[in-house]
Structure 1
């Protein structure tokens, strides 16, 4: 039997028994165990062994049953600490789907609607203009239409990220420290700072990866009447028993917290965030709904399984099935894909045939992606190369954890999809 979430592997013998049971389960659920075994070899030989990434944890399930788990490398190479099943990771932008789900619980309660003007809930944004010229003060023009709540969820708001380094508006975000979790504004301060800056484009005109989901987090906090951390705890983490997920690393988690590395030219890596001195050990200044959470593979798998199950897991109902289907539909205007709409310096995967829903990317034309996948599959990843996907057609959920920035360094995410679907012998499609 697999060890329960929150427990370290007791011994190699116990892990071996668990692996044999998973292989048997995998076969009964339509996977070829010998082909799933390629995943560990591939990750070890191409990435972990050569020192391209510090560690790799991959958790794969079908119909709610675990069929494969990889636990490779070290969570803290500097101190020789091996990776374990309950290692705690920075998940960065995999926070976005969680925050988006929280907002949708408020949509279901009637506290907000997707077509609400954002200024109805953030009056300070009533006069936001679109950048025309200047480096501060700025020349602006009125937007073609007001920003709506749906624009925040699908990143068509006209907001941006400072790290994109493309425009005068990006530069203003960097100057204002608007991308910073630990050294910048709190949520209220972020909203006030954004009120003084122009939009990059008129809402709905383009797709641009941005602080939009941080604004979603602000709306969750304001509309729920709870601090964002408490709202997520009450609405998602407690019901789903996600005991290791939060905005900081608790004292009892410190021995399980992974080191984060940065890729260097030539294929190596250098320490980027020491787990013994990380800012994640303390409370953040900005409770970032766009990138502030830490979590484990087991916790995020529970979140993913809830999404696959139409909003419910183990008797805990988070959202209704219709709401999940709405979230997992392409909401880009005109049914466009990201190659047609994106203005971002952004690379989560090849984006042909991929749109964007309410909190994550959505595949709507699988052949154009050039990788094995299903229509209706949805997914996202984080800055430290973490990733998840949910495939409703094949009833598959997958969570990948490592700690290497930036996420565009290696094509691990698409490689994992190929490895998984090349092992699926009993397809529902």
Structure 2
């Protein structure tokens, strides 16, 4: 049935042979069973450490779907609602102000929880825009403090400081990728009364047996962390900076980033993916209700908001709850069913789930700025085409 999986080997290995990536781990799940799991290349080419299927990866933005699932748990319990105002939980987001090329002005309305989950809040990541520069100064301060060994802001305190910075646009005006998931993590902490990481561990990781997933890596597991690389000087060199205020994962961080902070393995994240593919349940353990997963995996953008959902990796997709939702496979160029969903991370970790075919792919690499790679798309099409 899976004889064409041999083409997965060829594509994944070629990326290593050609020096595109140092190493990777690839997994395909069909109808609840792992039907393909292999590692390629090196986890650390300077030390000649081979990549293994239990190598640990920095998830970066693949942390976001986990944060969305945590929010859904609170919504199921009546503790949170997408129409709730953000300022009720983090008062510093009261009276939001917009800063753009035309100057500063009051926002048209308050930010809602739904705005966070659809990335329509106007809260920017650090970038070159007027509002993004203000945010960048705050994030830069945290990075400088970390390098100096000074005390850092915790998850909620950091969110409060972000609430004092201007928005890029009025909430609900359009889609824009930003720090919304980090704010969502702080909201979860406030509502649950638990540290964000503790909530994730209690409600998701421990029930699913995700023992290698968290915001830091215990000393006895640290040697399994794959080296991250950046393309530089005509080749891949170790990346030694601390992107998005993340640290070296050796100790529990003060700021538990709901947008980028988790580490995991392919096999651990596969448990989370299988839970979603099984409508909220895995091996008799229920994390979310079936209707909740249906809600979580629908497009949440209006036609107007979707005009700015214009990345190459989101063509043919809608967006909701920190994931892309496939609506037009032809435009996307993917051999997948409508309603497929997933996301990726800044270092190239990628997953996609097709509920109709009960098919899932996970492809993990550690390459800066990678996101959805060409190879991830090709591997996905091979896997879907191989299923008879």
Tell me which interval the TM-score lies in, with the shorter structure as reference length: over 0.9
Match of 1:4 in 2: none
Superposed, which structure 2 residues align to 1:11-410 within 5 Å? 27=1, 32-33=2-3, 35-45=4-14, 47-132=15-100, 139-162=103-126, 164-165=127-128, 167-177=129-139, 183=146, 185-264=153-232, 266=234, 268-273=235-240, 279-334=248-303, 337=306, 340-342=307-309, 347=311, 349-408=312-371, 410=373
CA distance in 1, matches of 2:34, 2:309: 35
Offset of residue 409 of structure 1? 8.5
CA distance in 2, matches of 1:409, 1:297: 16
- Tell me the SS of whatever aligns to 1:58: strand
How far residue 102 of structure 1 moved from its aligned partner, in angstroms, is 0.5
Counterpart CA distance in 2 for 1:373 and 1:300 is 21
2 CA distance for matches of 1:180 and 1:399? Answer: 32
Alignment partners' CA distance in 1, 2:305 and 2:175? 10
Which of the two has higher C-alpha Rg? 1
SS where residue 295 of structure 2 aligns? helix
Looking at structure 1, the residues matched to 141 and 331 of structure 2 have their Cα atoms a distance apart, in angstroms, of 33
SS at match of 1:418: helix
CA deviation profile, 1:307-334 (whole Å, cap 9, x unmatched): 0000010111111011101011000123
Which whole-Å CA distance do the structure 1 matches of 2:212 and 2:260 have between them? 16
Q: Secondary structure at the match of 1:398?
A: strand
1:238 CA displacement: 0.5
1:97-130 deviations in whole A, cap 9, x for unaligned?
0011011100111111011111122222111111
SS of the aligned residue for 1:334 comes to coil
Q: In the aligned structure 1, how far is the partner of 2:163 from the partner of 2:222?
A: 38
Q: TM-score, normalised by structure 2?
A: 0.92
- 3-state secondary structure, aligned to 1:59: strand
CA contact under 8 A between 2:174 and 2:304: conserved in structure 1?
Answer: no
Rounded to whole Å, the distance in 2 between the matches of 1:159 and 1:335 is 18
Q: Which runs of 5 or more residues in structure 1 are unaligned?
A: 1-26
Aligned mates of 2:36, 2:136 — CA distance in 1 = 42
> Is the contact made by 1:263 and 1:269 (CA closer than 8 Å) also made in structure 2?
yes
**Structure 2 unpaired stretches of 5+:** 147-151, 242-246
> 1:150 offset after TM fit, Å?
0.7
Deviations 1:22-45 (A, max 9, x none): xxxxx2xxxx32x11111111112
Q: Is the 8 A contact 2:344 2:371 kept in 1?
A: no
Indicate how the Cα distance of structure 1 residues 43 and 150 shifts in structure 2: closer, same or farther if over 3 A, else same. Answer: same
Secondary structure at the aligned position of 2:249 is classed as: helix
Counting matched residue pairs gives 378
SS at 1:146's partner residue?
Answer: coil
RMSD: 2.1
